[in-house]
Amino acid sequence: MIEIDERLRQALHNLGLTDYEIRVYVALLGREGMTANQISEETSVPYSKIYEVLDSLEKKGWIGTEGGRPAKYHPKSPATALEANRMRVEKELKENENIVLSELLPIYEKMGTREKHDIWILRGEVNILSKIKSVFTNCEEELQAASPWMNMDLLNLLLPSIASIVGRGGRVQILLSSRCDYRVVKKLNEIAEVRLRDQMFGGGIIADSREVVLILGEDESNSFNLAIWSEHVGLARLAKIYFEHLWRDAEPVKPK
């Protein structure tokens, strides 16, 4: 029987193999095919346990079976076995995640538990866009957004959420730059309240007077790379007051 060092044994343990399964797989690596009886004798795994061990290894993707009387077992390539093991673990992880989320998330939301941090710094356009989409999606009744960087791509990302808020009877106010693509302005104005301003310094979103995203950094290409997200009610209130001040001085959209 092939001897293995402790580091390899531990790695196989970490991948979910038992001591008996390690013995059997390593023994099969040195032979073209073995019966259950031969494997039991070779590895000192009790015959009363050998079929249980072989069945487990086959389900985990480490060995295969050749039909016959008696059946013979052979090892699969370590690369093949590891890929099968990875797929199995990922599938089990996803199933367990779904169970945990379905059971515990409602409890978390019912308790109204919040993170300890009041303010989070967001860096990078992808992270900021993801948070903006989340804020739009979770908004229930009132959404206010100042967006000097609105374009068709961003509009298409956010439009379903805007339509959903309005469809529930909510209010959506969107402040855009007067230099914004008129196709964007027209499409938004069909479902939301839209106004235009000549000067806008940064942008932001306030959802239900309790959640806010403030865009702090824009580069020369008008893409944003730094933002603040918070569920701090006081900060959301200040942002709303500032938005309403800008809104009062902005021009309603005139049809062309």
Domain span including residue 175 = 119-252
Cα separation, 61 vs 40, whole angstroms = 20
Instruction: Say if residue 147 is in the same domain as residue 89.
Output: no
Does residue 140 contact residue 172 with C-beta atoms inside 8 Å?
Answer: no
CATH number (domain holding residue 191): 3.30.870.10
Question: Alpha-carbon distance 239 to 212, whole Å?
Answer: 8
First-last CA distance in the chain = 85
Q: What is the pLDDT of residues 71-121, one digit of tens each?
A: 999 999 999 999 988 888 888 888 998 898 888 878 877 765 554 557 888
What would the pLDDT profile of 17-39 be if each residue is shown by its tens digit? Answer: 999 999 999 999 978 789 999 99
- pLDDT per position as a tens digit, 153-206: 888 889 999 999 999 999 999 999 888 888 999 999 999 999 999 887 778 999
Asked if 148 and 233 sit in the same domain, the reply is: yes
201 and 179 part of one domain: yes
- The pLDDT tens digits of the residues spanning 203-248 come to 899 999 999 999 875 544 455 688 899 988 888 989 999 999 899 9
Please indicate, yes or no, whether residues 96 and 42 belong to a single structural domain of this protein: yes
133 and 49 together in one domain? no
How many whole angstroms from its chain centre is CA 129?
A: 14
Closest CA relative to residue 62, chosen from 80, 45, 50: 80
Which of 113, 143, 170 is the C-terminal boundary of a domain?
113
What is the tally of structural domains in the chain?
2
Same domain, residue pair 109 and 124: no
Average pLDDT, rounded, for the chain: 87
Whether the full predicted model's pTM is greater than 0.85, yes or no, is: no
Residue where a domain stops, chosen among 113, 142, 157: 113
pLDDT for res 220? 43
Confidence of residue 125 (pLDDT cuts 50, 70, 90): confident
Asked if residue 229 and residue 138 are part of one domain, the reply reads yes
User: Tokens for 180?
Assistant: 């914004």
Which of 113, 132, 153 is where one domain is finished?
113
CA distance 168 to 70: 68
Order across the sheet with 119-123: list the strands: 119-123, 224-230, 211-218, 203-207, 142-147, 171-177, 193-197, 251-252
